């Protein structure tokens, strides 16, 4: 058997549902193929979760949740606006000037609405977004976070939704390139967050799908 | 009838038939009933926000479960600021040979919960889409045809994505992926 044939049978192999001859052939392949051995390890782990005893939903839970979510939904919009106003009001008041430019489009600090940067992600290829982080003074040990939502990922990171690292930003323009890839339909959004003891700023970038 | 009452009635009609399945999935992914209830509540809130979309769907249960796995990933990440570090600790007990009965100690439930927690953390590293797709297939046992309907992706893409994600999960559980740098800053003025 080759990898494709084994890959199709991995869930059944993990469940113990393969006929004996296929089971033996799969096992022989897995013993010599690291990638398929990893896949079987993953499938075994999911089998373990699948077999967990789940019990039944407590009496009255649906009604309780129904009441809660209808009440929450009514207040949600107002809550969200309050949170944004508070967070970004603080950011604007910070003394440090930090701005992010995406492909020449300036994203102003505090601007919560998604930008209209002309950048489209594709499912076919990774496209590199160049980001310039402008600081009016050196920022040693700044924490940079990239938070992704929707069907977008940074190529080569295995679909991670949050990337966080620390870097020394120089005074002036600091450039960053991100290879972005659409992982499905619908596009997504990226939040770039900069943290430093003297300031915290967030920028939201819309990433529509190139159709 | 007010909009609120109308949406509430619609929500009940659309979601209640799938509620036990949702709760069961949530219990598999959490270590306590209260965490499961919180997770189901997150899903229900999302369902209410998307009530028109949900009503128009053919595969409502699959959509609800997909949302549940996405919310699960969100919650796991919020819970563990450094999920990678936590996911790699401990010995590899999910080898290709499968789990044996001998690896649990005297307090079996505690050990099982620890194993489950480790898988959950590793799943949260996979990414929402990948985690959802793999869980629908390997935990909820949806067919490839059903996944095709739910995701709109070609069957070949689904198959390759599933295999890639299973392998990734396996690697995470055996500590192979974790020394790689997350991201490299490069000069964009080329």
B189 touches chain A (CB under 8 A): yes
Q: Is A176 in Cβ contact with B167 (below 8 Å)? A: no
Domain match, A32 and A134 both: no
Q: Is A73 among the domain residues?
A: no
The CATH homologous superfamily for domain B3-85+109-173 is PhyR, sigma-like (SL) domain (1.20.140.160)
A177 vs B47, higher pLDDT: B47
Above 80 in pLDDT, residue B188?
no
In the prediction, which pLDDT does B179 show? 37
Q: Is A86 among the domain residues?
A: no
Domain match, A43 and A101 both: no
Above 60 in pLDDT, residue B185?
no
Domain match, A39 and A101 both: no
Q: Is B24 in Cβ contact with A73 (below 8 Å)? A: no
Q: Is A46 in Cβ contact with B134 (below 8 Å)? A: yes
Q: Is A65 among the domain residues?
A: no
Q: Is A192 among the domain residues?
A: yes
Burial class for A40, CB neighbours closer than 10 Å (0-12, 13-18, 19+): buried
B20 touches chain A (CB under 8 A): yes
Residues listed for chain A: 211
Domain match, A185 and A108 both: yes
Above 80 in pLDDT, residue B61?
yes
Q: What is the least distance, in Å, from the CA of A43 to any CA of chain B?
A: 6
Q: Which of A55, A57, A165 is most worth mutating to test chain B (most B CB atoms within 10 A of its CB)?
A: A57
Which region among A124-133, B44-53, B178-187 has the lowest average model confidence (pLDDT)? B178-187
Q: Could you tell me the maximum CA-CA distance found in chain B, to the nearest angstrom?
A: 62
Instruction: Supply the range of the domain harboring residue A178.
Output: 97-207
Domain ranges, ordered by start, for chain B: 3-85+109-173
Q: What is the distance between the alpha carbons of residues B63 and B153, in angstroms, rounded to a whole number?
A: 14
Q: What is the distance between the alpha carbons of residues A155 and A132, in angstroms, rounded to a whole number?
A: 19
Phi, psi of A179 (to 5 degrees): -80, 110
Domain match, A113 and A198 both: yes
Say what the pTM is.
0.57
Q: Is A70 among the domain residues?
A: no
Domain match, A111 and A201 both: yes
**Cβ contact A170:A112 at 8 Å:** no
Q: pLDDT (tens digit, 9 = 90+) per residue, A19-62?
A: 999 999 999 999 999 999 999 999 999 999 888 877 788 889 99
Above 50 in pLDDT, residue B90?
no
Q: Is A184 in Cβ contact with B129 (below 8 Å)? A: yes
Q: Is B28 in Cβ contact with A50 (below 8 Å)? A: yes
Number of domains in chain A: 2
B177 touches chain A (CB under 8 A): yes
In the prediction, which pLDDT does A47 show? 92
Domain match, A107 and A8 both: no
- Looking at B110-182, which runs of residues are DSSP E strands? none
Mean pLDDT computed over B110-135: 81
Q: What is the distance between the alpha carbons of residues B141 and B169, in angstroms, rounded to a whole number?
A: 18
Q: Is A107 among the domain residues?
A: yes
B48 touches chain A (CB under 8 A): yes
Helices assigned H by DSSP within chain A: 3-15, 20-32, 34-50, 61-93
Domain match, A24 and A107 both: no
Q: Is A71 among the domain residues?
A: no
């Amino acid at each position: 058997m080759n990898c494709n044939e084994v890959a199709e049978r991995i869930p059944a192999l993990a469940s113990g549902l393969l006929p004996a001859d296929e089971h033996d052939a799969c096992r022989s392949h897995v013993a010599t193929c690291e990638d398929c051995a990893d896949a079987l390890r993953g499938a075994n782990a999911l089998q373990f979760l699948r077999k967990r005893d789940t019990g039944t939903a407590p009496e009255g839970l649906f009604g309780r949740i129904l009441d809660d979510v209808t009440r929450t939904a009514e207040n949600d919009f107002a809550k969200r606006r309050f949170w944004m106003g508070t967070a970004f009001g603080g950011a604007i008041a910070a003394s440090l000037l930090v701005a992010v430019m995406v492909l020449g489009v300036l994203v102003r600090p505090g601007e919560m609405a998604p930008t209209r940067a002309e950048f489209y992600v594709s499912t076919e290829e990774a496209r590199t977004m160049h980001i310039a982080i402008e600081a009016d003074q050196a920022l040693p040990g700044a924490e940079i976070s990239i938070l992704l939502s929707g069907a977008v990922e940074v190529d080569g990171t295995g679909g991670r939704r949050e990337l966080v690292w620390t870097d020394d930003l120089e005074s002036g323009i600091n450039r960053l390139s991100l290879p972005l890839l659409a992982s499905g339909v619908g596009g997504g959004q990226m939040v770039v967050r900069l943290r430093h003891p003297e300031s915290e700023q967030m920028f939201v970038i819309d990433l529509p799908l190139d159709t | 009838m007010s909009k609120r009452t109308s949406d509430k009635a619609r929500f009940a009609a659309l979601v209640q038939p799938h509620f036990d399945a949702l709760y069961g999935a949530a219990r598999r992914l959490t270590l306590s009933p209260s965490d499961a209830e919180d997770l189901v509540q997150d899903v229900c809130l999302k369902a209410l926000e998307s009530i028109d979309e949900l009503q128009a769907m053919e595969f409502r249960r699959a959509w609800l479960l997909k949302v549940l796995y996405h919310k699960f990933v969100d919650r796991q990440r919020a819970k563990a600021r450094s999920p990678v570090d936590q996911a790699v600790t401990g010995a590899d007990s999910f080898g290709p040979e499968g789990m044996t009965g001998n690896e649990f100690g005297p307090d079996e439930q505690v050990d099982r919960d620890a194993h489950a927690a480790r898988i959950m953390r590793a799943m949260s590293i996979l990414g929402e889409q990948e985690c959802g797709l793999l869980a629908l297939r390997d935990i909820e046992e949806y067919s490839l045809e059903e996944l095709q309907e739910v995701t709109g992706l070609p069957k070949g893409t689904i198959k390759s994505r599933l295999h890639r994600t299973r392998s990734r999960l396996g690697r995470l559980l055996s500590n192979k992926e974790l020394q790689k740098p997350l991201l490299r800053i490069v000069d964009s003025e080329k």
